Amino acid sequence: MSMSTADDRAGASEETLSETEYRDRLRELPPSAKLVAKVLESDSPLSQGQLAEESLLPDRTVRYALNRLEDVDLVDSRYSFRDARKQVYYLKI
């Protein structure tokens, strides 16, 4: 089981998106997801609350946008170093 996890991590770290691939994946998403991606391009990593504040979108809309970005493998999350109760999000490009 640990071998597959190591393999998964190795494959994920090798995958980098080209600008064209990034744009193609983003093109089909709703405007809220595009805005959240743009905010993450300029300032990353950010928590869901910080994304809502920066984008001026409601928390629920930001959560939906993050889910859509995760579905197309454009964003990833990790626990915050400042507050382990929170997750922060960043683009995979």
> pTM of this prediction?
0.77
**What percentage of the chain exceeds 90 in pLDDT?**
60
- Whether omega before 45 lies within 30 degrees of 0, making that bond cis, reads yes
Look-up of token digits 């995979």: 92
Task: List pLDDT tens digits, range 43-54.
Answer: 889 999 999 999
What whole-number distance in Å separates Cα of residue 47 and Cα of residue 64?
14
87: tokens are 């997750």
Phi, psi (degrees; rounded to nearest 5) at 48: -60, -40
Residue 5's pLDDT band (boundaries 50, 70, 90)? Answer: very low
